[in-house]
Amino acid sequence: MTSNMYVELTAPNEVRYTQPRGLFINNEFVASESGATISSIDPATEEEIATVYAAGEADVDKAVRVAHKALKEPSWKHLSASDRGALMWKLADLMEQNRELFATIDAWDNGKTYQEALENDLVEAVGVIRYYAGWADKISGQTISTTYQKFAYTIRQPIGVVAQIIPWNYPLSMATWKLGPALACGNTVVLKSAEQTPLSILVLGDLVKKAGFPPGVVNFLNGMGAVAGTALVSHPLVDKVAFTGSTATASTIMRLAAKTLKNISLETGGKSPLVVFGDAEMEQAVKWSHLGIMSNQGQICTATSRIIVQQDVYDEFLTKFLETTKTTSKVGDQWSKDTYQGPLVSKVQYQRVLDYVRIGKEEGAQMVSGGEPVPIGNGGKGFFVAPTIFTDVTPSMKIWKEEIFGPVVVIAKFTNEEEAIALANDTTYGLGAAVFTTNLEKAHRVAAEIEAGMVWVNSSQDCDPRVPFGGVKQSGIGRELGEAGLDAYSQIKAVHVNMGNRL
């Protein structure tokens, strides 16, 4: 450990802390072999927060090798499942003790509001680790009756070295969604965070060590996707790749993983529909529709970004939705208590969102609110975009089809249930969906018909660690969270036992 591996920082909310800068390999922070770094930027001010070391191929190799070694060490391999759970529980406790710090770092690095990070992300992150800590000693196989002379049983074993690659929209909590089930099942991990948000994962590294995890079990890398990500996915000692990010990157990852037939699970993009039927409770439909697309700056994979409203209540919905957006979606920096929407994560994301706004206008959709940058930061700096609402959107338009990943919603009308389902399913994605109705029969019928991994009835985005999460179609392969999340990180071995050949 050298002082070069840490930097003293004071966040805009006056929180002072020590930020690790190294790659977290074998329970130590180390510099990258080449000395390469990446820089983290405050998206509200466009100023640099810190530089951290960025992994190249040699660093990835080092991390994978220590994870491979740790897999076979008695300190991890022979640790009882209950003790493994206890370690995870300890990590969750340490995270909880540092919740203000983590919320500060993610708000600063990502642009999400401090309040959202504290009350949403941190609660979820701690909850997910605790949930899977509870699973660690409840993972079991079966005994299977066969013939008089034979019995068979199955054991659930870890897959091995797991490479995990996460996006920037929930830096800490995305890491916990992946670490929780992987550790509960006894794997070792090399996790790469997104280059836009490299900071909180390193502080988590400090806590992993403090909690008492043996060296090599958990390794955290920062680095560019095309360099560190590619090296990780291609490494021959990696047994499984778990990825969250865009559909385009997922497709590249599948191709790379195919070379050594790695087990994969993918959580990718979405263009999730939210259907409001004429009999919906209007105040609720408006409240959740707003939260479903405008919270976290719309940078949510399950954001309900296509709102489909029954004709007879369309005008009422639109008036109320516009009013709620105007009164609730206050754009501001991450730290003010009354800010609902902070800056987008990066300049690239900001320009991408503004490009889609321009395309929507060119395509002939009606922009009824927002659409412009909001010059809030010092000297007009910061990646702020006003919450944007398009109506008269048709399924042939790009803004209907493509994931924008920002505070931009498209709204269309339907006349009957059949048309609503057809519009909802008119997408290559299939991640989330929401249905608003007071008719129970209709709610369940439509929930069954919508092609999505998750359907919310009369709400949007309220995920729960106990409930499986994942997509169909081009939104992913496999499930995270819930008991189903364990399937992604364990494999079944069948043992056939011959009881004798005497008969």
- Cα torsion 346, 288, 105, 205: sign: negative
Q: Which residues, other chains included, contact 282 with Cβ-Cβ below 8 Å and sequence gap of 6+?
A: 313, 316, 317, 320
The smaller minimum CB distance to ligand NAD, of residues 29 and 168, is found at 168
CB of 407 to ligand NAD, least distance (A): 14
User: Residue 248 or residue 499: which is nearer to ligand NAD going by CB?
Assistant: 248
- Least distance CB 246 / ligand NAD (angstroms): 3
Q: CA 165 to CA 212: how far, in whole Å?
A: 24
Spot the catalytic one: 116, 195, 267, 403: 267
Sign of CA dihedral 107, 112, 115, 116: negative
Which residue, 85 or 225, is less far from ligand NAD as judged by CB? 225
Closer CB to ligand NAD, 95 or 194, in the complex:
194
Cα angle 416, 422, 426; round to 5? 145
237/302 Cα distance (integer angstroms): 33
Q: What tokens were used for 327?
A: 């009164």
Q: Least CB distance from residue 13 to ligand NAD, whole Å?
A: 25
Closer Cβ to ligand NAD, 44 or 253, answer by number: 253
CB count, 10 Å around CB of 443?
18
Number of H helices, E strands in the chain: 17, 22
CA gap 408, 42 in Å, rounded: 22
Residues forming the site for ligand NAD (CB under 6 A)? 165-169, 192, 194-195, 225-226, 229-230, 233, 244-246, 249, 252-253, 267-270, 301, 403, 405, 431, 471, 476
Is residue 301 among the annotated active site residues? Answer: yes
Q: What is the DSSP letter of 431?
A: S
The count of residues in the chain is 503
What does each C-alpha distance from 195 to 374, 416, 491 come to in angstroms?
Answer: 25, 45, 31
Nearer to ligand NAD, 226 or 258 (CB): 226
Tell me how far, at minimum, the Cβ of 471 lies from ligand NAD, in Å: 6
- Would you give the DSSP letter of residue 186? T
Question: Residue type for 47, please?
Answer: E
How near is the Cβ of 174 to ligand NAD at its closest, in Å? 6
Distance, in Å, from the CA atom of 493 to the CA atom of 169, rounded to the nearest integer, reads 36
Minimum separation from the CB atom of position 152 to ligand NAD (A): 36
Q: Taking the complex as a whole, how short is the minimal distance between the CB of residue 22 and ligand NAD, in angstroms?
A: 18
Task: State whether the Cα torsion 169-172-173-177 is positive or negative.
Answer: positive
- Cα 257-208-229 angle, rounded to 5 deg: 25
Task: Give me the residue label for tokens 């590294």.
Answer: 205
Looking at the Cβ atoms of 332 and 485, the one nearer to ligand NAD is: 485
- Which of 301, 403, 451, 463 is the catalytic position? 301
Which residues are catalytic, by number?
Answer: 267, 301
